[in-house]
């Protein structure tokens, strides 16, 4: 433990602590299960830390097939809850397969790209097909937030792996041109959410209600916050999903700008350490895995906090390590456990000979 990189685990403990404190305020009955999930995730984290991450490379294809199998199984066995198909109910515990699909897919693409000999257009098209399958299954649930996260870390890993920037820009141009065509595939409530994103006053008591209440909560916290347990928007139930999707708004109301700055600072340190680990990784596989995890976390933080303050349309996505949800917490700690394993085996610092 003396050689352990506490700059990697320290921000995790801060973020989980902020999440548990917020849960204690607004949903104390969820504090015990979230703590148990954290303990389970922490055990897995240290097990992965002690295991040589290069052993997981051989399971790349299995990880991809497992992710697809979990996502397909949702439509076969999972119940529909509020118009969505996202969770399995196993003994009273809800498991969200799309959360575990993230580390599985990052592992697969890191393994595949690190062994790819030619970064040609043909291989790029094949890789595009491989990511479009899980994105389609996730969007079909529907879960556009997670679909965006999958696309983000895939695109970043492709770029870092060595594919031509011209190919990526051409691909993005095609996506932008086809984007209007996806409007017809959206559910009616998703269309309304996008329209109210541009003008929340279109439906202040309907689709625009959530973002309006979230912005009120964030703004009313001011600098020092109202204090733990004294947030009016959350405790008077004006703010929906205050323990999960809108937990940042709850935290900002009760802890103010100081609490929000602490949260963002912890995320910054965590992401910085992951990228440093990627830079010093002993091989391409470790580097690409760390890049994928960093981009996944960055995309989730951007979307979750962005929707809380009205910067992006509302999508149901958790704030990593902070929001309530066992699947999200455990899957994030799985990813970070492998990152810690890469950090443990990173290249030694260069020795400068001053003789």
Question: 97-114 and 326-344 are packed helices; what angle lies between their axes, rounded to 10 degrees?
Answer: 30
Model pLDDT for residues 320-329, shown as the tens digit of each residue: 999 999 999 9
* Residue 26 neighbours by CB distance under 10 Å: 22
Q: Digits of tens for pLDDT over the chain (355 positions)? A: 666 778 899 999 999 999 999 999 999 999 999 999 999 999 999 999 999 999 999 999 999 999 999 999 988 887 877 667 887 877 778 889 999 999 999 999 999 999 987 888 899 999 999 999 999 999 888 888 899 999 999 999 999 998 888 888 888 888 888 777 766 666 666 666 666 655 555 556 555 677 888 888 898 888 888 888 888 888 877 888 888 888 999 999 999 999 999 999 999 999 999 999 999 999 999 999 999 999 999 999 999 999 888 888 777 789 999 999 999 999 999 999 999 999 998 766 533 343 3
The Cα 331–Cα 103 span in angstroms is: 7
d(CA 107, CA 338): 10
User: Which burial class, exposed, middle or buried, applies to 159 when counting CB atoms under 10 A from its CB (0-12, 13-18, 19+)?
Assistant: middle
pLDDT in tens, 168-187: 888 888 888 877 776 666 66
Eight-class DSSP state of 95? E
Name the nearest CA neighbour of 98 among 294, 321, 316, 253.
Answer: 316
Cα dihedral 245, 249, 251, 257 in deg (nearest 10): 140
User: Distance (Å, rounded) from C-alpha 267 to C-alpha 301?
Assistant: 8
**CA geometry: angle at 84 spanning 153 and 92, to 5°?**
95
**Cα dihedral 217, 218, 224, 227 sign:** positive
Q: At what angle do helices 97-114 and 144-161 cross, to 10 degrees?
A: 10
User: Distances from the Cα of 312 to the Cαs of 3, 194, 229, 237, in angstroms?
Assistant: 41, 9, 28, 23
**Alpha-carbon gap, residue 53 to 117, rounded angstroms:** 22
CA 40/CA 199 separation, integer angstroms: 43
Question: Domain boundaries in the chain?
Answer: 14-344
pLDDT single digits (tens) 21-44: 999 999 999 999 999 999 999 999
What pTM value is reported for the model? Answer: 0.90
Task: Using the CB atoms, write b or e for 196-218: b if 16+ within 10 Å.
Answer: bbeebeeeeeebbbbbbbbbbbb
Closest to 154 (Cα-Cα) out of 288, 342, 320, 330? 288
Sign, CA dihedral 13-94-308-302, equals positive
Instruction: Encode pLDDT of 147-168 as tens digits.
Output: 999 999 999 999 999 888 888 8
How many Å apart are CA 152 and CA 133, to the nearest integer? 15
Listed in sequence order, the residues at least 6 apart from 128 whose beta carbon sits closer than 8 Å to its beta carbon are 171
Cα dihedral 198, 204, 205, 210, rounded to 10, equals 60
Torsion 311-313-314-318 (CA) sign:
negative
Q: Supply the angle between the helices 284-308 and 209-220 in degrees, to the nearest 10.
A: 90
């Amino acid at each position: 433990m003396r050689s352990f990189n506490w700059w990697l685990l320290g921000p995790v403990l801060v973020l989980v602590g902020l999440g548990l404190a917020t849960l204690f305020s607004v949903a104390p009955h969820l504090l015990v299960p979230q703590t148990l999930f954290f303990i389970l995730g922490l055990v897995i984290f240290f097990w992965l830390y002690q295991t040589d991450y290069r052993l997981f490379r051989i399971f790349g294809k299995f990880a991809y097939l497992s992710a697809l199998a979990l996502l397909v199984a949702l439509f076969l066995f999972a119940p529909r809850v509020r118009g969505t198909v996202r969770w399995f109910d196993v003994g009273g515990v809800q498991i969200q397969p799309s959360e575990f699909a993230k580390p599985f897919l990052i592992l697969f693409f890191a393994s595949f790209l690190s062994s790819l000999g030619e970064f040609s257009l043909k291989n790029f098209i094949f890789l595009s097909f491989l990511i479009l399958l899980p994105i389609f299954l996730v969007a079909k649930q529907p879960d556009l937030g997670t679909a965006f996260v999958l696309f983000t870390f895939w695109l970043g890993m492709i770029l870092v792996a060595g594919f031509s920037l011209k190919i990526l820009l051409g691909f993005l141009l095609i996506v932008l041109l086809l984007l209007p065509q996806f409007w017809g595939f959206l559910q009616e409530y998703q269309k309304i959410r996008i329209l109210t994103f541009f003008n929340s006053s279109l439906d202040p008591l309907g689709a625009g209600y959530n973002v309006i209440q979230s912005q009120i909560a964030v703004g009313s916290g001011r600098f020092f916050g109202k204090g733990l347990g004294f947030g009016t928007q959350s405790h008077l139930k004006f703010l929906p999903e205050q323990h999960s999707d809108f937990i940042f708004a709850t935290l900002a109301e009760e802890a103010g700008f100081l609490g929000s700055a602490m949260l963002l600072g912890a995320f910054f340190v965590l992401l910085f350490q992951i990228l440093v680990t990627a830079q010093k990784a002993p091989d391409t596989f470790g580097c690409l895995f760390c890049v994928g995890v960093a981009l996944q976390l960055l995309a989730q933080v951007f979307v979750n906090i962005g929707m809380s303050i009205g910067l992006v349309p509302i999508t149901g996505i958790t704030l990593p390590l902070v929001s309530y949800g066992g699947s999200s917490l455990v899957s994030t700690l799985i990813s970070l456990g492998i990152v810690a394993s890469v950090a443990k085996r990173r290249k030694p610092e260069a020795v400068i000979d001053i003789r």
